Amino acid sequence: SQKIEQNSEALNIQEGKTATLTCNYTNYSPAYLQWYRQDPGRGPVFLLLIRENEKEKRKERLKVTFDTTLKQSLFHITASQPADSATYLCALENGGFKTIFGAGTRLFVKA
């Protein structure tokens, strides 16, 4: 069956360091992959979309990689700040416009 795996354990890092979150998937061949940020009690906010023919995408302090051979995406936040603390969701296209979300990884950035 299809699976999206994100590290369920929270990631704790020091302010200024680079946070790296992992998204692994099985039994998918997504045309694109997305990352969202979700704060407690709020709806997710779109961050980045990367297509299957793109290896890397950047937006300000964010960088996403997409390895279709490894079936993995890495999400990096450089020069992390306490305001980056949130849950980050990986999402895959699953045919047409349907998107399947991972459970997310909670990130805590300590000042």
Stretch that binds other proteins, among 19-27, 33-41, 54-62, 67-75 (CB under 8 A): 33-41
Q: Is 45 in the site for other proteins (CB under 8 A)?
A: yes
Query: Of these, 23, 25, 34, 71, which contacts other proteins (CB under 8 A)?
Result: 34
Answer yes or no whether residue 42 interacts with other proteins by CB under 8 A: yes
| Binding string, residues 50-89; x marks residues near other proteins by CB under 8 A | ---------------------------------------x
DSSP 11-37: EEEETTSPEEEEEEEES---SEEEEEE
Note whether 99 binds other proteins by CB under 8 A: yes
CA distance 33 to 66: 8
- For residue 30, CA distances in Å to 17, 37, 47, 95 come to 30, 20, 18, 8
Q: Provide the greatest CA pair distance for the chain.
A: 42
Among 19, 104, 105, 107, binds other proteins (CB under 8 A): 104
Alpha carbons 47 and 23: distance in angstroms, whole number: 15
Binding site for other proteins (CB under 8 A): 4, 32, 34, 36, 41-46, 49, 89, 93, 97-104
